[in-house]
Structure 1
Amino acid sequence: MAHSIDNGAMAAANPKLGTIFTKLVRELKYQTPQHDDTRPALEAAMLEYAASSGAPYESEYAQRYFDVGLTLACAYYPSHPFAVKLHIAIYSWLAIYIDDDEPGTDELAGFQERFHRGEPQPSALLARFAEVLQDMSKYFEPLVTNFIVLSTLQFVNATLLERRGEFLNLQHCREASGWPDYIRDRSGVPEAYAYFIFPREQCPDIGMYMQGIPDMMIYINYANDILSFHKETLAGETDNYINTRAVCEQREPLAVLETCVSETIAANSRVVRLLRTRSDPVYARKWNEFFNGYILFHVTARRYKLHVYPGLAHEGVNERDEFKDQMASEQPVGLLQCA
């Protein structure tokens, strides 16, 4: 994982990227989310949980992951019942910590086997993560819970794979053009976060939204990859999705980026049209909240350095208390593979 370069000159806007980003936001018909500020109450509940969990949260390093879990839940799922939002926030905090915790690789390697057997985990971090997965059925329909757990276990596997020498030494090629999406779907946990949009209490009929999950996953993956591309380019990263796909397709990265924009817009349009056919408007409203909150999260987070593109700046966002703390620091934001 490359480090961002905080260089004023290098951080200047790239006109080509600006055009691409503006097209994404404009054609998605992005609208600034307006909802109640639940961050203070959610943060208090998370802190109460963290204090008794034994999981790391007090160090500056750990606090970054705690904060992103909190902000994710506020931004993406604003109208969820409080208990569901808290559960997603805790899940995100623990998962993102695990994603970056390379010293914990040996302990993580046995996580799935212990989870399947119901055996104790070797650390408080992994023990709490296992408990969070086991408690998913409190908030989501049983079949949906299974999808969320399976998606999460795939994330654990992908995290371990990405630390293996075999993965690091891969030579990307045209003959393996399906590989970038294969690993992205597992490392980024898009399926779990798509299902999180529809808690059982508010969205009991899985038939209302199930067919839209594949396109929601495309949106979750690609919108993040697009809006991460500026800061990744500044950092000199070439192992991200856009560049890997470009190598496999023997195309220029900017051309792939433009293709991803079109695919993201098309995926969102299909989801919107699908959910508008449903008799209960709550499903369409839930998606609308998520897709707008997802964009807001990225364009207002300093980590992505998108402030250099005025067309993406959200007027008045600095006055929104809910995101004040997030904007004040260089926190890792987005889903699990956004860094």
Structure 2
Amino acid sequence: MNQNTKLTRIREHPREATGQSPDELITTVSDILEEMLANLRISHCSVDFNQELLEAPLVEARNRGYALSGVHSLRHALSMGVYLTSTMYGHVTDNAQRTYIIFYIMFMFYVDDTYFGKSDRENGLLFFISRFNQNQPQEEPSLTAFATFLREDTATVFEPIGGGIIIASSLNFINGMILESSVSVAQISPFAQGFPYFVRNKSGFAEACIILAFPRDMPVIHYAQAFPEMLYFVLDLTLRPSDIMSFYKEELVGESENLVSLLAAVTDSKIEFFQNFKICGSGSPCIPVTRHEKYEVLRHLSRAVSLGHQRTLQILAGAPLAREVYLKLAKGYVCMYISMRERYKLDELNL
């Protein structure tokens, strides 16, 4: 079977292309996720959230003039901002930073939920960055509010380096969404080994997620050396949707436009894997893909996440405060996904 035929089969018959029956899929994915959670030493997650946590942010949103009803309403996104802040950033106690995190996640969730998959003609994000750079109104009110928040609040709450990383990460996310909306597995050249990671890294805001976790007055240099490993950990547990935690759900419905499917589709994907967790020139981890089967790609991704986690702890051994923050961040992110059991069908995997 030639590669073009395989690409078509992955798109039209995803379960047949991976060579798995439903029972095999459940067993394989369950084993992979259990192994990863054991390596991360995460066995118990407690999510403390109630509607009362939404009251103060809702008042603040009204005071800021954010749209909370109508076509461009941020109301649902605000609820998600409060929920995700509680689950992922529950360790953050600074009020200004916590408020920033809530609204930042709100805007990012709104952008993702509203504009992902839209064509260029429909996509209000197409000129977002050029308008942002020129301080011009955006396509619609909530995008204008997002641009203002990003420009003004970031500079107020965070020191220059951290704030700069947040803004750059956010604008990369916008570009990545536009790019990803125009890409499908069927269009990928079988020789484009680096392209899946290029699109994947652009279509998330992992750098910002890391900065948000650390005290805003902590110099970035205190944890900068561990940034590549933390970045990889966050990339593979938090982007839309998480390639690892949501793989089972996506495979059930035949979703193929994700990192696992893209890596399974390219040829000559076997990349040298060094025991010291080699990082490729593009900043992407060098992952070995021994077979063009999605579950093999998933297994390698999950093991590399575990390895990156251990490397981060080793690097931060001399910075106990930063190490403690990272451990809370890591557990918070994993527990956030585990708490969304129904969405990711984790009960079917006995997790």
Superposition RMSD on alpha carbons, in Å? 2.7
**How big is the shift at 1:51?**
2.7
Matched, 1:277 2:310: no
Which of 66, 74, 81 is 1:69 aligned to?
81
Post-superposition shift, 1:195? 1.5
Equivalent of 2:62 in 51, 68, 79: 51
Query: Which residue type is aligned with residue 111 of structure 1?
Result: F
Q: Normalised by the size of structure 1, how large is the TM-score?
A: 0.79
* Structure 1 residue 69 displacement after superposition: 1.6
Determine the structure 2 residue equivalent to 1:317.
none
The equivalent residue for 1:245 is 263
Q: Which runs of 5+ in 1 are unaligned?
A: 3-9, 313-339
- Could you tell me whether the CA contact under 8 Å between 1:43 and 1:70 is conserved in 2? yes
Give, in angstroms, the shift of residue 235 of structure 1.
1.6
Which residue pairs with 2:95 in the alignment? 82
Distance 1:64 1:169, change over 3 A: same
Instruction: Measure, in 1, the Cα distance between the counterparts of 2:178 and 2:114.
Output: 11
Q: Is the 8 A contact 1:54 1:125 kept in 2?
A: no
* Alignment gaps of 5+ in structure 2: 1-10, 12-21, 270-290
| C-alpha deviation, 1:122, in angstroms | 3.7
Give the secondary-structure state (helix, strand or coil) at the position aligned to 2:245: helix
For residue 210 of structure 1, the aligned residue among 224, 238, 255 is: 224
* Whole-angstrom CA distance in 1 between matches of 2:123 and 2:256: 27
Question: Do 1:33 and 1:289's aligned partners in 2 also have CA atoms closer than 8 Å?
Answer: no
For the Cα contact (< 8 Å) 2:206–2:235, is it kept in 1?
A: yes
Q: Which residue of 2 aligns with 1:189?
A: 205
- Aligned partner (choices 244, 250, 256) of residue 226 of structure 1: 244
Decide whether aligned partners of structure 1 residues 295 and 113 sit closer, same or farther in structure 2, where only a CA change above 3 A counts.
Answer: same
Residues 61-120 of structure 1, C-alpha deviations (whole Å, 9 max, x = no match): 855433222121111111211321221111111112112323694432221111111222
Does the 8 Å CA contact 2:49/2:83 hold for their aligned counterparts? Answer: no
Kindly name which structure, 1 or 2, has the bigger radius of gyration based on alpha carbons.
Answer: 2
* Change beyond 3 A, Cα 1:59–1:216: farther
2:167 corresponds to 1:149 = yes
Structure 1: distance between partners of 2:67 and 2:32: 39
**Map of 1:331 onto structure 2:** none
Q: Distance in 1 between matches of 2:58 and 2:224?
A: 34
CA distance in 2, matches of 1:193, 1:39: 23
Compared with structure 1, are the counterparts of its residues 152 and 170 closer, same or farther at alpha carbon in structure 2 (3 Å cutoff)?
A: farther
Q: Tell me how far apart the structure 1 counterparts of residues 54 and 96 of structure 2 sit (CA, whole Å).
A: 12
Residues 316 and 322 in structure 2, CA contact (< 8 A), matched pair in contact too: yes
Q: For this pair of structures, how many residues does the alignment match?
A: 296
Q: Tell me whether 73-82 or 48-57 shows the greater mean CA deviation.
A: 48-57
Measure the CA separation in 1 of the matches of 2:184 and 2:317: 43
Q: For residue 325 of structure 2, what is the aligned residue in structure 1?
A: 286
Q: Kindly report which structure 2 residues correspond to 1:105-124, keeping only aligned pairs within 5 A, or say none.
A: 105-124=122-141
CA distances 1:253-311 after superposition (whole Å, capped 9, x unpaired): 00000000110001111111111222xx221111111111111111120211112233x
